[in-house]
Copies of this chain bind each other. A is one copy, B any other.
Amino acid sequence: MGNQEEKKMSEKHRKILEAAIDTFAEKGYAATSTNEIAKKAGVAEGTIFRHYKTKKELLLSIVSPTVAKFVAPHFVKSFSKEVLEGEYDSYEEFLRKLAYNRYEFIKQNFPILKIFIQEVAFHEEFQKPYFNLFKDVILPNFTKVVVHFQDKGELKKLPPETIIRFTISTIAGTIFTQRFLDQKQDFNQELEEAISFLMDGLSPGQK
């Protein structure tokens, strides 16, 4: 969004992209016709195919870069000890940074992420690369963080994937509720409740 590639685009090209995002998000990829996108973008239908060979290529060009960016920032840098100790004093602080950061990104790229979530089940092109990214990059790095704080005695000695699962479930549930159900609520407060729920549930002290 608003990144370098879009700078080089012609007005019409940008309009096509916007129209496609809107319509894919609203009605789903399969139920959106190129005719509809063209009309909404104010261009001829043929123009779409000057920029994208197929409708599917249009979908990929919308979804891929944003999802890559969504997943990347916190985890692609390798989590050396310095990074861990320098950046996060506690698992609680790590959670807080993670949650706020992802929440902002979701707020700004909501339609594209919605398209991804809707379509990922139906397009193999999506499944493999992102599943691998998760398994090979995110999960190992996330695990390092968890082990680090388990070693410091801040977290229960559960399997790291289990702790990760609880963390992601709780934060995702909080963000999801905020977006879809009670958008008027104060997100900060909800998030702090989620964090203290998580810390209570994951701390070894009370066993």
Tell me if B177 and A173 are in contact (CB < 8 A).
no
Within 8 A of B (CB), among A148-182: 158, 162, 165-166, 168-170, 172-174, 177
**With A30-B31, A200-B200: A166-B173 Cβ-Cβ less than 8 Å:** yes
Q: Are B165 and A174 in contact (CB under 8 A)?
A: yes
Contacts of A31 in B (CB 8 A): 30, 122
Q: Which of A59-67, A80-88, A90-98, A189-197 forms part of the interface with chain B?
A: A189-197
Do most interface residues of chain A lie in helix, strand or loop, or is the interface mixed?
Answer: helix
Q: Which residues of chain B are near A193, meaning CB under 8 Å?
A: 158, 162
Tally of this chain's copies: 4
Shortest A129–chain B CB gap in Å is: 16
**A120-147 interface mask toward B, CB cutoff 8 Å, 1 = contact, 0 = none?**
0110000000000000000000000000
CB nearest neighbor in B for A26: B122
Q: Are B206 and A202 in contact (CB under 8 A)?
A: no
A130 and B169 CA atoms in complex are apart in Å by 22
Instruction: Indicate whether A14 reaches chain B with its CB closer than 8 angstroms.
Output: no
Contacts of A118 in B (CB 8 A): 118, 121
A205 in the interface (beta carbon within 8 A)? yes
Residues of B within 8 A of A174 (CB): 165, 169
Interface residues of A (CB under 8 A from B): 27-28, 30-31, 114, 118, 121-122, 158, 162, 165-166, 168-170, 172-174, 177, 190, 193-194, 197-198, 200-203, 205-207
Apart from the given pairs A118-B118, A169-B174, A200-B207, 4 other A-B contacts in the complex at a CB distance below 8 Å: A165-B173, A165-B174, A165-B177, A169-B172
Q: 22 A-B residue contacts at CB 8 Å?
A: A27-B122, A28-B28, A28-B30, A28-B122, A30-B31, A118-B118, A158-B193, A162-B190, A165-B173, A165-B177, A166-B170, A166-B197, A168-B173, A169-B170, A172-B173, A173-B173, A197-B201, A198-B201, A200-B200, A200-B201, A200-B206, A206-B206
